[in-house]
Amino acid sequence: MEHSIFQKIAQAPNLDFGDILSKSFNLFKKVWIEGTVHVLITLAISIPVMILAYVPLVPVMIKSEQMPYGQEFNPFTEYPLPVIVGYFLLLFVLIFVSQVFTYCISAHFYKVVQKTDTGKPMDTGGYFVFLKRNFSKLFVLSLAAMGIAILATLLCYLPLFYVMVPLQLFVVVFAFNPELSVSQIVKASFKLGNKFWLIIFGLIIISGLIAQLGILLCFVGVFVTASFVHLPMYYVYKDAIGFDDAPLPSETTTI
């Protein structure tokens, strides 16, 4: 039997671009502190990953500086193929691990947003609760997202504009339906994305620009505004699919 989420998507009312954007601004005023915390936690995980990615490049930079004037050091010819392939595999793994953690933290933020929006009591901590309960699902979902993005990029980039809409919906669908299988999450995201592609695409572009406005505040402000990108996706889900009246599972576990 098909999950009810697919029936809800099929019967979803039309979305209002201006209404979603307006509600997102109002909600941002209430969740910007939690949003900033989630962004900083994500950054704290990403920085070590970036350092590990750049450490193998240090010998390359040193040798490049030691080259005589007018000569360039080409690592693709100076290093054996297994070393080069090994580095790119390491880079892939690091990016993938970082994405798993990003999905986990983003999913938790969506639950925080929902509780703030609906006036439900807030739990303390629990930023990695989805990682603890749904690690394998997050792992496969991240792998699916990366695979779809890579395939779309290889197809001359144009398909990437199409898939970026359902890819943005992966986490919000997962956050409110963790019981779904990965294939069901992907299918639901594509069905919802296809139905309202133009509106969601516009929201992604506008919210992305708004999220970057923090750069104007001595750059540090971007940590505050970055979480805004999630709010329109929250309202897309809420207005199109909605939430069940059943109480949410407890998320008081703190890691």
Residue 248 inside a domain? The answer is no
Assess if residue 21 is contained within a domain: yes
DSSP-assigned letters across all residues of 103-144: HHHHHHHHHHHHHHHHTPPPPS--TTHHHHHSHHHHHHHHHH
| Residue 246 falls inside a structural domain | no
Q: Is the pLDDT of residue 253 over 70?
A: no
* Domain annotation covers residue 40: yes
User: Domain for residue 44, yes or no?
Assistant: yes
| Separation between Cα atoms, residue 251 and residue 254, nearest integer Å | 8
Domain that holds residue 183: 4-240
Residue 25: pLDDT band with limits 50, 70, 90: very high
Overall domain count for the chain = 1
Residue 181 domain-assigned?
yes
Amino acid found at 211: A
**C-alpha separations of 119 from 8, 30, 113 in Å:** 24, 11, 10
117-146: b or e for each residue (b if 16 or more CB lie within 10 Å)?
beeeeebeebbbbbbeebeebbbbbbebbe
pLDDT single digits (tens) 124-142: 678 899 988 899 999 999 9
Q: 182 near 140, Cβ under 8 Å?
A: yes
pTM for the complete prediction?
Answer: 0.87
CA atoms of 102 and 167, how far apart (whole Å): 14
